[in-house]
Chains A and B, each alone.
Chain A
Amino acid sequence: MKRKTKFKKALISLTLAVSMMVGVVGCGSKEEEKKDVSGAQYNPFGDYQVTTEDITLTFWHYEDETTATMMAEAFMELYPNITVEHKLISDMSTDLSAAAAAGTMPDVFEGTDSDTALANGYWGDITEYWEADPDTKNLMPTINEYGIGCFDTNRRFAAPMLYWPSAIFVDRNVIETLNLDMPDTDWTWAEMIDLIKAATKYDPDMMYYGLGWYNRLDSLYGIAACSNAERAIKGEFGYNGEDFDLQYWATGEQQFSDLQLAGYVAPTSGSDAMEEWTGDYDGWFGATGHVALFSEAFWTYQNIWAQDGYQEDLGLDIVPYVTPNVVDEKEHNVISNMYMGGISSSCEHPLEAYLLLRFFGWGVDGWNTRMGIYEDKTNVNASGIALQHSSMPVPLTLDEGVWTRYKALFPQDEEHKPYWDDYFASVTRPVPYGWYSIAGYWNFCDQYFNSIDIHGLVDTGKAKAADYVDEATRQANYYHASAMLAYFGPDSPYATVIGYKDILSADEIAKYQAVVDAFTTQ
């Protein structure tokens, strides 16, 4: 008995000793490995000295988690002394406000709603790095031209990270079945509306609809509406960089409502009309083969229609079209989903955080890494889906090498390639939806536009969009002006806690204050 116990003790001691040795040796080798490489630090721009200390950066994002892990690994190979810990954001407001309250703010993070980040001073000033970064000179032109991420200040708080332009997809099979002609890729808005009407036909087996929608047509129309001479629209609701004018939105809204009420628009999922049409309450119009045009999100193609055998099985032949302009004399801006990213205003390693930001966002080095990940279809996420089919974004850089590789991921046959080439050529002037780029936009939607359910009232024919133009314009301008003061004024958290002074000039403050005063005194 005693011998047995003695043996046991010896065995445990031996195991502990071996595991300690392995631990010590393991730690040592890792340290050594890191220190060896940190001597030659990769620095993509400027005279900035990247730290050689071992640091950890936290990155919260909306990427596919596997893609983010692979990108982070590639970044850590470039900067062996930097460890990147990343996390998928489930709800921006909740996650970030909880992190801010707990003092665990991520160094780098993406956001869907800029008002949240600005109201609380989450994003730090990256103007200096942005201006020194050569890759920011070769981006889609509207990003610098319209100051996307600057929020109408002379500082840059955020930068576009994930970009998905809007698109009108056309099912060639439906057009052919209905004996219609495929439109030119440089079509106009009126031609698109005519095609929607022409492609809506009764069929005893199953009705054909002209349009299936995910993005509302009024959002698309609002950007494509008028010439620059009339109004240089830089954002939703007729925003021109200073104020709003909702008359353009109203025209698109009414047109969309009229199409819906006249029966040109396919039922949406989860409705009785969908069940009546397809026999499936939760059916999706994109899988019916009975819809001609789709105002779908860009990712719908890669995530669903581009899956192997999907289109063949359902008898679809989907090609992309540019969102048409209403008038010809205008550069082709396109409304887009554009997640913004920035570094935390409390970040202790802003340069390194910026490097991580650009690597994931617009940096050519990052995009080449991405292309390597997307090109290999064996790279799959936790659900077994190839990463190029998991909400792959569109490059923000205009780098030719990146674009050649990117376009190669889409159909290359003679019939389809021209559509894709034309489409990609048309998406170089993105205009983000309002909540990404305009201060106070979400407050306006939350407190006024959505709270009185304007979309619902107009869509159901209970009200005309034109009836709301004046009041909605007044409200939008007020919310924008009051947000600009609250976010960047002398009493804002940026000024009082973060320490950024004079973000707005005295004239700008007076201008916004005048709008607020005019609104409140009415």
Chain B
Amino acid sequence: MSKRTEKQSKPKIKVGKLEKRESRAGYFFIAPWLIGTLLFLLIPLGQSFYYMWFNIRITPKGYAFNFIGAQNFSQIWVENPEFPQQLVTYIWQTLLEVPIIVVFALIIAMMLNGKIKCRALFRLIFFLPVIIVSGPVMNMLVSEGAATIPAMNVQSIVAAFDRVLPTQIATSVGEMFSNMIMILWYSGVQILIFISALQKIDSALYEAAKIDGGSGWECFWKITLPTMKPMILLNAVYTVIFLSGNEQNVLITMIESAMFSGTAEKGYGYASAMAWMYAIIISVMAALFFVMLGSKKDVYDRKAKKFKKEQKKEERMKKRVRRRGERHARKVANHANKFTTYDGSGDY
């Protein structure tokens, strides 16, 4: 049968009214997100990409654009050393803080998922900081020293790290310790995500493991953690984004102040250049965590693969041995045919 007739014979499926209505409803529900993305993400993203090549003055009568090419970037790197310095500090801090926040959130989520009294109240307590940190209240709390643990001698910790680590990393570690409370306060959303993931793990798995004599520790490593792995990745990426964009972030403050600065060099163009550089760094950080945690295979997949690999290797080995044996047998037979002994028996 030719291709043409094959195509013709394929029955046409008419989309039903219900399906149409459902797809319309689907578009309707995602419309706010699409409009929001277009208005508040894609358009500003394009605009800022355009702006970063200009010196922009916003006069009462309109915008004055002056094309300066990559001058905004050179100005940032050459004349504003604070921004690159803060970028380096940000990288170190993110690398240190993200694992702390994610691990802390996982531990708290597991505790809050257990059968404890006043569970709802505790969940509320751990989520409360999310509401607080979303506003200027957090800035006020930080300025009052609420972000630090009073009993913790941060200076001694920094001095100790300074002896063994480069200053830049030691400073970041010090920053982390001096903002320990704040870091823990950033865990609210992550705790929620982990709790919802924990609740979806099939309890039959734990029961089966326990019947087989598995301890709680073993259950955690062999059931909970592998199941939670996608959520760990999600939380790590979420934490990177959150740390990069919250009000306490010095880089955000710098970009904001450059944006509203009236001085001749700064303004929208300069701030856009800063924002793009920062966005690239954030993307690299997020990608880094994705690479570290994003592998789809868990430990058992890896073990099974390894086992199969070894099996194949063994089979190959067996084949090789068999082939070698056959070859050897053939060789001996050939040899026997070619040469004869003095007595003609063939035995040497």
A335 vs chain B, min Cβ distance (A): 23
Question: Does A143 lie at the interface of the complex (its beta carbon under 8 Å from any beta carbon of B)?
Answer: no
- Cβ contact of B264, chosen from A100, A113, A486, cutoff 8 A: A486
B324 vs chain A, min Cβ distance (A): 76
- Cβ contact of A97, chosen from B66, B260, B264, B265, cutoff 8 A: B260
A116 vs chain B, min Cβ distance (A): 3
| 0 or 1 for each of A466-502: is its CB under 8 Å from B? (1 = yes) | 0000000000000000110011000101001110000
A271 vs chain B, min Cβ distance (A): 17
- Cβ contact of A116, chosen from B63, B257, B263, cutoff 8 A: B263
Question: Does A54 lie at the interface of the complex (its beta carbon under 8 Å from any beta carbon of B)?
Answer: no
Residues on B with C-beta less than 8 A from A93 are: 257, 260-262
With A447-B79, A491-B66 as known contacts, state yes or no: A105 contacts B262, CB within 8 Å: no
Asked if A119 and B264 make an inter-chain contact with CB atoms under 8 angstroms apart, the answer reads yes
Asked if A116 and B262 make an inter-chain contact with CB atoms under 8 angstroms apart, the answer reads yes
Asked if A96 and B262 make an inter-chain contact with CB atoms under 8 angstroms apart, the answer reads yes
Question: Does B26 lie at the interface of the complex (its beta carbon under 8 Å from any beta carbon of A)?
Answer: no
**Alpha-carbon distance between A98 and B262 when the two chains are bound, in angstroms:** 11
Question: Does B142 lie at the interface of the complex (its beta carbon under 8 Å from any beta carbon of A)?
Answer: no
Q: Which of A73-124 touch B at CB < 8 Å?
A: 91-94, 96-98, 100-101, 105, 113, 115-117, 119-122
Asked if B263 and A443 make an inter-chain contact with CB atoms under 8 angstroms apart, the answer reads yes
Question: Does A200 lie at the interface of the complex (its beta carbon under 8 Å from any beta carbon of B)?
Answer: no
Residues on A with C-beta less than 8 A from B88 are: none
- Interface residue count on the A side (C-beta < 8 Å): 36
A495 vs chain B, min Cβ distance (A): 9
Stretch of B10-18, B53-61, B201-209 contacting A (4+ beta carbons < 8 Å)? B53-61
**Alpha-carbon distance between A116 and B257 when the two chains are bound, in angstroms:** 13
Asked if B59 and A497 make an inter-chain contact with CB atoms under 8 angstroms apart, the answer reads yes
Question: Does A346 lie at the interface of the complex (its beta carbon under 8 Å from any beta carbon of B)?
Answer: yes
Question: Does B62 lie at the interface of the complex (its beta carbon under 8 Å from any beta carbon of A)?
Answer: yes
Question: Does B64 lie at the interface of the complex (its beta carbon under 8 Å from any beta carbon of A)?
Answer: yes
Question: Does A333 lie at the interface of the complex (its beta carbon under 8 Å from any beta carbon of B)?
Answer: no
Scoring A94, A113, A344, A482 by chain B CB atoms within 10 A of each residue's CB, the highest score goes to A94
Asked if B60 and A119 make an inter-chain contact with CB atoms under 8 angstroms apart, the answer reads no
Residues on A with C-beta less than 8 A from B265 are: 443, 447
B67 vs chain A, min Cβ distance (A): 11
With A447-B79, A491-B66 as known contacts, state yes or no: A345 contacts B262, CB within 8 Å: no
B145 vs chain A, min Cβ distance (A): 13
Q: Which of B120-163 touch A at CB < 8 Å?
A: none
Question: Does A186 lie at the interface of the complex (its beta carbon under 8 Å from any beta carbon of B)?
Answer: no
**Alpha-carbon distance between A122 and B263 when the two chains are bound, in angstroms:** 12
Interface of A is mostly: helix
With A113-B262, A497-B64 as known contacts, state yes or no: A97 contacts B59, CB within 8 Å: no
Please name the residue on chain A nearest to B66 by beta carbon: A491
With A447-B79, A491-B66, A493-B64 as known contacts, state yes or no: A115 contacts B263, CB within 8 Å: yes
Asked if B260 and A122 make an inter-chain contact with CB atoms under 8 angstroms apart, the answer reads no
Chain B interface size, as a band, is: 20 to 34
**Alpha-carbon distance between A420 and B261 when the two chains are bound, in angstroms:** 40
Residues on B with C-beta less than 8 A from A339 are: none
Question: Does A321 lie at the interface of the complex (its beta carbon under 8 Å from any beta carbon of B)?
Answer: no
Scoring A113, A119, A344 by chain B CB atoms within 10 A of each residue's CB, the highest score goes to A119
Please name the residue on chain A nearest to B256 by beta carbon: A94
Question: Does A446 lie at the interface of the complex (its beta carbon under 8 Å from any beta carbon of B)?
Answer: yes
Residues on B with C-beta less than 8 A from A59 are: none
Asked if B61 and A119 make an inter-chain contact with CB atoms under 8 angstroms apart, the answer reads no
**Alpha-carbon distance between A440 and B267 when the two chains are bound, in angstroms:** 15
**Alpha-carbon distance between A115 and B58 when the two chains are bound, in angstroms:** 14
Asked if A483 and B61 make an inter-chain contact with CB atoms under 8 angstroms apart, the answer reads no
- Cβ contact of A122, chosen from B59, B62, B82, B261, cutoff 8 A: B59
Scoring A100, A447, A451 by chain B CB atoms within 10 A of each residue's CB, the highest score goes to A100
**Alpha-carbon distance between A447 and B82 when the two chains are bound, in angstroms:** 11
**Alpha-carbon distance between A487 and B64 when the two chains are bound, in angstroms:** 12
**Alpha-carbon distance between A300 and B264 when the two chains are bound, in angstroms:** 33
**Alpha-carbon distance between A119 and B261 when the two chains are bound, in angstroms:** 10
Asked if B60 and A344 make an inter-chain contact with CB atoms under 8 angstroms apart, the answer reads yes
Please name the residue on chain B nearest to A116 by beta carbon: B262
Please name the residue on chain A nearest to B58 by beta carbon: A100
Question: Does A285 lie at the interface of the complex (its beta carbon under 8 Å from any beta carbon of B)?
Answer: no
Residues on B with C-beta less than 8 A from A100 are: 58-60
- Cβ contact of A498, chosen from B58, B59, B267, cutoff 8 A: B59
Asked if B260 and A120 make an inter-chain contact with CB atoms under 8 angstroms apart, the answer reads no
**Alpha-carbon distance between A451 and B83 when the two chains are bound, in angstroms:** 12
- Cβ contact of B60, chosen from A98, A105, A486, cutoff 8 A: A105
Asked if B60 and A94 make an inter-chain contact with CB atoms under 8 angstroms apart, the answer reads no
| 0 or 1 for each of B58-91: is its CB under 8 Å from A? (1 = yes) | 1111111010000000000001011000000000
B79 vs chain A, min Cβ distance (A): 6
With A447-B79, A491-B66 as known contacts, state yes or no: A121 contacts B61, CB within 8 Å: yes
**Alpha-carbon distance between A105 and B261 when the two chains are bound, in angstroms:** 16
A77 vs chain B, min Cβ distance (A): 29
Asked if A115 and B64 make an inter-chain contact with CB atoms under 8 angstroms apart, the answer reads no
Q: Which of A425-454 touch B at CB < 8 Å?
A: 440, 442-443, 446-447, 451
Q: Which of B260-291 touch A at CB < 8 Å?
A: 260-265, 267
**Alpha-carbon distance between A91 and B262 when the two chains are bound, in angstroms:** 11
B167 vs chain A, min Cβ distance (A): 18
Asked if A497 and B61 make an inter-chain contact with CB atoms under 8 angstroms apart, the answer reads yes
12 contacts between A and B (CB under 8 A): A93-B260, A94-B260, A96-B262, A97-B259, A105-B60, A121-B60, A345-B61, A346-B59, A442-B263, A482-B264, A497-B61, A498-B60
Instruction: List the 4 shortest-distance A-B pairs measured between CB atoms, nearest first.
Output: A116-B262, A346-B60, A121-B59, A105-B60
| A contact set with B: CB distance below 8 Å | 91-94, 96-98, 100-101, 105, 113, 115-117, 119-122, 344-346, 440, 442-443, 446-447, 451, 482-483, 486-487, 491, 493, 496-498
